[in-house]
C-alpha cells in the first residue's frame, strides 16, 4: 500500500469516528450523540485498528502539570508537550482553567495523527471553587441527597473550567481515625458509605456521560486503602476475604451500580498482593462479578510502586503486572508508555491485553462526547458565570450547618440567646480563613472563606458584644497567651473556644499517632473552664478526636469538621439557634487512642466485655465503650421512640418484613432526627457483628408532633459471606434495634425461615 493511499485511508477513517477532525464543531443542540453500545463499540474498533503501538500505549498514559512561569498557569512540561504531539498522552491531571485545557486540547485534535481528544482530570473532592464541608463532615448530615447536590454543583464549576474527570468520590471505609484520609470518605460503616458513594456518583456524573456540566466520576481507592495497619497512610492492609467483602467492598460496588465511569487502584497491598497488581480485585471481582465496563486508573505512580512492594524486579515487570491485572491508565509512572513496547516485542505482554485497555479508555471518551465536542463548552465566560455564585454559597452554608454534630449541651447552654450580653471567642482556628477549607480544596481560596469569628460577630444579637483573643497556636507549645485569654474570659458571660486541627493535619500523608487536641489547646481550655464561665467548644477537625477531658468539662461541644467557605455563617446559624443541629457521627469517637480501631459493628468475641467479670474483653485503664458512638448526635429538642412493631415475627425466605416505630418531638423546638435501624443475626455459620446499620430516615417534627417511620427488610439485607464464601442469608433468630444512634435499645425479634 502506498503511503499516499494509506494516509487517505486513515483520514477517511478518522472522519468516520470523530467529528473533532472537522474543526471541532459541536453537535447541533438537541441532536443526540451516536452513543448506543453497538455504535460506540464500532467506533472504538475502527479507531483501534488505525493505532500504532506507541499511540495505543499513549492512550494509557496520564501526565501531571507543571507551573508555566510565562503564562502563570498550570501547563504541560516541554517533554509532555512533545509526547502529546507524538500521540503518547491520553490524559492530563492538574491542568486547570478553560484556557489551559483548551490550548492542550487543540494540540491533541489538530496536531496529532489520529486527533484523539484528551481527558483532563482533577481532585474535585468537596468543591472546585466553592468549597463544601469535607466528605466526612457531609456524611454526618446522613443526607445522601445533600451530598448529591453539592457534588453536582462542584461538577458544574469544574466542567466550566475545562475539567472532564474528578478523582472522587473516595469511598474507602475507615475504622482507624489516626489515618488522615478518613476526612475524605464517609466513615466506618458500609451501609452509610454505600449510600453516599452512590449519591456522589450521581451528583458528579449523572446518568449520561456526555453532559457538559458534569464530570466523569472515580470511585477510589480500590480497594481497602482505608484499612492500613497502625492507621499509617500507604501502609500494609491485611484482612480476610470475608472482612474485605462485607465491610470494605460494598461502597465500591454501590458506586459501580450507580454507573461510575472509572475506578482508581490503591497504593496498598492486601494479603501480600498490591492492589495495582491484583487481578483478583481488578478483573475477577470488578469486571467479572460486578460487570464494570469503565476503566481503571492507577493512583500516582502506584504501578511503579509495585516494584517497590517487591513483587516485580524492574519497572517493565511492574507495568506488565499492573496492565495484566486490569489497571488501564498509568498515572505518572510513565511505565506503560516508556517500557511496555519492549515487553510486547519479546512476548512477555500480549497485544490483546493492551488493546482491551485502550478500548476501555476510548469507550469512555466516546461516551463522553469528546470526539464531537472536545472542549465540552468550557470557556472563560462560562467560568466567570458559574464560579462561587450566591446559589452555591447558600448550598455551602446549608451543607455546613447540616454536617454539624452537637456532642454535648449541658443544661441547654446552646443556643445562645439575646440574654447573652458578652461572648469571648478564643482559639487559633477562630480567625483562620484557610483551615475551614479542609484537605483537597481544589481551587478554593481562603479569601472566600467566612471565618468563625466573622460569622459569630455578624450573627450575634445586636446587643451582644463579641470579643476575640487567640490564646495559643494550633500545634505549637507557646503558652504566653493563655493567661490573657483566661483574664478576658472572666469578664464574659460565655466563652466559645474554637479548637481542633489545621487543615494540613488530615488528608493524604497526614496520619497522627496521637489524635487529641494538638499543641497546648487543651491547656488553654482548662484555663478557660477554670474561670467558672460557661464554655462552649467548637471543634474544627478532619477526623474523630480523643477528647475525654473536653467531653467531661466543657459546657457544650459542637463538632464542625472542616466546614468550607461558609464556615462562620453556618456556625453562627447553629450557635444562635437559627438552625437546630441534626448531624450524627459517621465514625466513632474513642476515649483513648489505645482503643483504636474502635467501631460499632464489631464481633462479640467468646468473652464479651462485662463489668462483673475481669476475664472478659476490656481494658484495665479505660472503659471499652466509646466517648461518642457511631450515629450519635444531639439536638436542641428531644425525641422519644415508642411502639416498635414488626409486620410478622416469622419472615419467609421470599418475603420482606416491615419495621415500624413512632417518633415524637418531646421538646419545644422544631427539629430533625435521623431514625436509625440496626439488625443483629444471633447465630450464623460464621461469627456475625453485634449489630449492623440496615436503614435510616431523616424526618422533621414540630414540637409535640409524632410520625410513624417504617423500614423494609428483605432477605438480601440479612445476607453475608458464609463459611463456604457464598453470599446468602441463613435461617435463624434476628433482632432489630431502632433509635437515635448505634446504641439504640428499643428492640424486637423475628425468625427467618426458608
Of the pLDDT bands very low, low, confident and very high (cuts 50, 70, 90), residue 27 is very low
Q: Is the pLDDT confidence value at 26 over 50?
A: no
Q: What is the mean pLDDT of residues 526-544?
A: 98
Question: CA 367, 265, 103, 85: dihedral to nearest 10 degrees?
Answer: -90
Residue-level pLDDT at 31: 37
Q: Which residues pair with 75 in a beta bridge?
A: 66
pLDDT for 17 equals 58
| Cα–Cα distance for residue pair 385/159, rounded to 1 Å | 12
DSSP β-bridge partners for residue 535: 495
Cell of 733: 433468630
pLDDT grade for 36, boundaries at 50, 70 and 90: low
Cell representation of residue 359: 478500548
pLDDT in tens, 168-193: 999 999 999 999 999 999 999 999 99
Let me know: does 533 contact 489? Beta carbons within 8 Å.
yes
Whether 196 has a pLDDT exceeding 70, the answer reads: yes
pLDDT in tens, 596-637: 999 999 999 999 999 999 999 999 999 999 999 999 999 999
> Residue 644's pLDDT is what?
98
CA distance 686 to 132: 41
Query: Residues 224, 266: contact at Cβ < 8 Å?
Result: yes
Catalytic annotation, pick one of 176, 299, 435, 448:
299
In the predicted structure, residue 14 carries a pLDDT above the cut 70: no
The pLDDT assigned to 38 comes to 80
CB atoms within 10 A of CB 359: 20
Backbone phi and psi for residue 138, each to the nearest 5 degrees, phi listed first = -60, -35
pLDDT given for residue 18 in this prediction: 56
Span 91-110, average pLDDT: 97
299 is catalytic: yes
C-alpha cell at 515: 489524635
Beta carbons within 10 angstroms of residue 140's beta carbon:
28
Yes or no: say if 149 and 163 are a contact pair by the CB < 8 Å rule: no
Band of pLDDT at residue 25, cut at 50, 70 and 90? very low
3-state secondary structure of 425: strand
pLDDT band at 105 (very low <50, low <70, confident <90, very high): very high
Q: What average pLDDT score do residues 481-494 get?
A: 98
Q: Quick one: cell of 382?
A: 462560562
613, 618, 623, 624 alpha-carbon torsion, rounded to 10°: -120
CB-based contacts of 366, cutoff 8 Å, min separation 6:
35, 40, 43, 44
Asked if residue 20 has pLDDT above 50, the reply is no
pLDDT band of residue 69 (cuts 50, 70, 90) is: confident
pLDDT in tens, 569-589: 999 999 999 999 999 999 999
Please check whether residue 575 is in contact with residue 415, taking contact to mean a CB–CB distance below 8 angstroms.
yes
Confidence of residue 545 (pLDDT cuts 50, 70, 90): very high
Helix, strand, coil tally for the chain in percent (to 5): 35, 20, 45
Longest dimension (CA), the chain: 92
How many C-beta atoms lie closer than 10 Å to residue 361's C-beta?
Answer: 25
Confidence check: pLDDT of 7 > 70: no
pLDDT in tens, 405-419: 999 999 999 999 999
Which tens digit of pLDDT belongs to each residue from 681-703? 999 999 999 999 999 999 999 99
Domains present along the chain, CATH in parentheses: 405-595 (3.40.50.1700), 639-753 (2.60.40.10)
Phi, psi of 100 (to 5 degrees): -65, -45
Instruction: Give the ranges where 372-438 is alpha helix by DSSP (H).
Output: 380-386, 390-403
Looking at residue 15, what is its pLDDT?
Answer: 55
Residue with cell 491542568: 95
Residue 4, CB half-sphere, CA atoms under 13 Å: how many?
0
pLDDT value at 475 more than 90 = yes
Peptide bond into 154 cis (omega under 30): no
Amino acid at each position: 500500500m502506498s503511503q499516499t493511499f494509506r494516509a487517505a485511508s486513515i483520514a477517511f477513517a478518522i472522519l468516520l469516528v470523530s467529528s473533532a477532525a472537522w474543526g471541532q464543531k459541536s453537535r447541533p443542540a438537541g441532536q443526540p450523540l451516536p452513543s448506543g453500545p453497538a455504535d460506540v463499540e464500532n467506533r472504538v474498533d475502527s479507531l483501534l485498528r488505525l493505532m500504532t503501538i506507541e499511540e495505543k500505549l499513549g492512550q494509557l498514559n496520564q501526565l501531571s502539570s507543571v507551573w508555566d512561569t510565562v503564562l502563570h498557569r498550570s501547563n504541560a512540561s516541554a517533554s509532555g508537550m512533545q509526547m502529546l504531539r507524538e500521540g503518547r498522552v491520553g490524559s492530563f491531571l492538574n491542568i486547570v482553567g478553560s484556557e489551559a485545557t483548551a490550548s492542550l486540547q487543540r494540540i491533541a485534535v489538530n496536531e496529532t495523527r489520529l486527533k484523539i481528544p484528551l481527558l483532563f482530570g482533577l481532585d474535585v473532592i468537596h468543591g472546585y471553587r466553592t468549597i463544601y464541608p469535607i466528605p466526612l463532615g457531609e456524611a454526618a448530615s446522613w443526607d445522601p441527597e445533600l451530598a448529591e447536590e453539592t457534588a453536582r454543583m462542584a461538577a458544574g464549576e469544574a466542567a466550566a473550567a475545562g475539567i472532564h474527570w474528578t478523582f472522587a468520590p473516595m469511598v474507602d471505609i475507615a475504622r482507624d481515625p489516626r489515618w488522615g484520609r478518613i476526612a475524605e470518605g464517609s466513615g466506618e460503616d458500609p451501609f452509610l458509605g454505600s449510600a453516599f458513594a452512590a449519591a456522589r456518583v450521581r451528583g458528579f456524573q449523572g446518568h449520561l456521560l456526555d453532559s457538559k456540566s458534569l464530570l466523569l466520576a472515580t470511585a477510589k481507592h480500590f480497594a481497602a486503602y482505608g484499612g492500613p495497619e497502625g492507621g499509617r497512610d500507604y501502609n500494609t492492609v491485611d484482612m480476610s476475604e470475608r472482612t474485605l467483602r462485607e465491610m470494605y467492598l460494598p461502597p465500591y460496588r454501590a458506586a459501580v451500580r450507580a454507573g461510575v465511569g472509572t475506578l482508581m487502584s490503591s497504593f496498598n497491598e492486601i494479603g501480600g498482593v498490591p492492589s495495582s497488581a491484583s487481578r483478583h480485585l481488578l478483573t475477577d471481582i470488578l469486571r467479572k462479578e460486578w460487570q464494570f465496563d469503565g476503566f481503571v486508573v492507577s493512583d500516582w505512580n502506584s504501578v511503579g510502586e509495585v516494584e517497590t512492594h517487591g513483587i516485580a524486579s524492574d519497572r517493565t515487570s511492574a507495568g506488565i503486572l499492573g496492565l495484566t491485572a486490569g489497571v488501564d491508565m498509568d498515572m505518572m509512572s510513565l511505565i506503560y508508555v516508556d517500557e511496555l513496547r519492549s515487553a510486547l516485542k519479546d512476548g512477555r505482554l500480549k497485544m490483546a491485553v493492551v488493546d482491551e485497555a485502550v478500548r476501555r479508555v476510548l469507550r469512555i471518551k466516546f461516551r463522553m462526547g469528546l470526539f464531537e465536542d472536545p472542549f465540552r463548552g468550557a470557556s472563560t465566560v462560562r467560568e466567570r458565570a458559574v464560579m462561587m455564585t450566591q446559589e452555591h454559597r447558600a448550598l455551602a452554608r446549608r451543607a455546613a450547618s447540616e454536617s454539624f454534630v452537637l456532642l454535648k449541651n449541658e443544661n441547654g447552654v446552646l443556643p445562645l440567646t439575646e440574654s447573652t450580653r458578652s461572648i469571648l471567642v478564643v482559639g487559633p482556628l477562630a480567625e483562620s480563613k484557610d483551615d475551614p477549607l479542609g484537605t483537597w480544596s481544589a481551587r478554593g481560596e481562603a479569601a472566600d472563606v467566612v471565618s468563625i469569628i466573622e460569622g459569630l460577630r455578624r450573627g450575634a444579637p445586636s446587643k451582644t458584644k463579641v470579643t476575640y483573643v487567640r490564646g495559643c497556636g494550633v500545634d505549637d507549645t507557646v503558652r504566653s497567651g493563655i493567661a490573657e485569654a483566661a483574664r478576658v474570659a472572666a469578664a464574659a458571660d460565655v466563652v466559645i473556644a474554637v479548637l481542633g486541627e489545621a487543615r494540613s493535619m488530615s488528608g493524604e500523608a497526614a496520619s497522627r499517632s496521637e489524635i487529641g487536641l494538638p499543641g497546648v489547646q487543651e491547656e488553654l481550655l482548662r484555663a478557660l473552664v477554670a474561670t467558672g464561665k460557661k464554655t462552649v467548644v467548637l471543634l474544627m477537625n478532619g477526623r474523630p478526636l480523643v477528647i475525654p477531658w473536653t467531653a467531661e468539662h466543657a459546657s457544650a461541644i459542637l463538632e464542625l469538621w472542616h466546614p468550607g467557605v461558609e464556615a462562620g455563617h453556618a456556625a453562627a446559624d447553629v450557635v444562635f439557634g437559627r438552625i437546630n443541629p441534626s448531624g450524627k457521627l459517621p465514625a466513632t469517637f474513642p476515649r483513648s487512642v489505645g482503643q483504636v480501631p474502635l467501631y460499632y459493628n464489631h464481633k462479640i468475641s467468646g468473652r464479651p466485655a462485662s463489668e462483673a467479670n475481669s476475664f472478659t474483653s476490656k481494658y484495665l485503664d479505660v472503659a471499652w465503650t466509646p466517648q461518642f458512638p457511631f450515629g450519635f448526635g444531639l439536638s436542641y429538642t428531644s425525641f422519644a421512640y415508642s411502639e416498635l412493631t414488626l409486620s410478622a415475627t416469622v419472615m419467609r425466605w421470599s418475603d420482606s418484613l416491615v419495621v415500624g416505630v413512632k417518633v415524637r418531638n418531646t421538646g419545644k423546638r422544631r427539629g430533625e432526627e435521623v431514625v436509625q435501624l440496626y439488625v443483629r443475626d444471633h447465630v450464623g455459620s460464621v461469627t456475625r457483628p453485634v449489630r449492623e446499620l440496615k436503614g435510616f430516615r431523616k424526618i422533621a417534627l414540630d414540637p409535640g408532633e409524632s410520625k410513624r417511620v417504617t423500614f423494609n427488610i428483605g432477605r438480601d439485607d440479612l445476607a453475608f459471606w458464609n463459611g463456604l464464601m457464598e453470599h446468602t442469608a441463613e435461617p435463624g433468630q434476628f433482632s432489630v434495634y431502632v433509635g437515635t444512634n448505634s446504641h439504640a435499645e428499643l428492640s424486637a425479634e423475628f425468625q427467618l425461615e426458608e
